[in-house]
Structure 1
Amino acid sequence: MNTFIFQSLPQRYDLREKLIPGEKDTWYATRYRNKMKPGDLVYFWMGGDDMFHGLYGWGEITSAPYIREEWDSYGVDIVYRSKFEKPITKSKILKYSNLSNLLLFRAPQASNFLVEPSEAKSMIRLIEKFGEESPKNL
């Protein structure tokens, strides 16, 4: 199983309103789509202004990537599984040494980011540390 971070911007797709556990959605699959498959874990990150930076929840990929003609790009279907009570902010994540070098922080100008296996384990520990529902049993 692979783990990804999918990034949105509040002016385009505000996770505070759109991330609803149990709801299905489609996200852009622009990078790493050759590694995406049903059952993979996805964390949802909101970028943009510093006041929004953070993890807002997680879900699961439910389809292989496919061309979305109306997007002129690839998409992948997901289901939202958990929305955090409070976003886990960038500043909190940067204090966690194994996560301070996430691809999301090194090259943030993308929609999809692959998370290394050791980082994925650290993400679960971080989420649990903040009392949020983790995907460890996914």
Structure 2
Amino acid sequence: METPTEHSASLWPLFVYGLIVLSLVGAMLGLSYILGQHHNERATHDPYEGGILSTGSARIRFSAQFYLVAMLFVIFDVETIFIFSWAIAFRELGWYGYTGVIVFLILLVVVLIYEWRAGALDFGPDGKKILKAYRKMSAGQ
């Protein structure tokens, strides 16, 4: 059994390492404060938005298509996890596991078809709408 002096003796490298890390962090922050630029202009304390002054509210509405794409990502990410875990335990699961993964894949195909029909995979403007607009523009000239 270790005595208290042996136990504390084994921790001193950790304390030295922590002291070195804190000293380096303090030195970097101190040097950046001393050597850095100090200015107090009109927009200094405003949030930075790529050089553009912010206007309006930060609360904006996202398109429903954004949420459909997010659902697709989550659905197929979880699918990958389940299929990998099934593949690892393939021999232990046998036919019961095989039928379970087939049912799972069928459900995912149904979800994919639903998402496709809902328009989640339409990432750009509809091709038919583009052709229709082009024909109108061509007919007007």
Same fold (TM over 0.5): no
Query: Larger % of helix: which?
Result: 2
TM-score under structure 2 length normalisation = 0.18
TM-score under structure 1 length normalisation = 0.18
Larger RCO (alpha carbons 8 Å, 6+ apart): 1
Query: Larger % of strand: which?
Result: 1
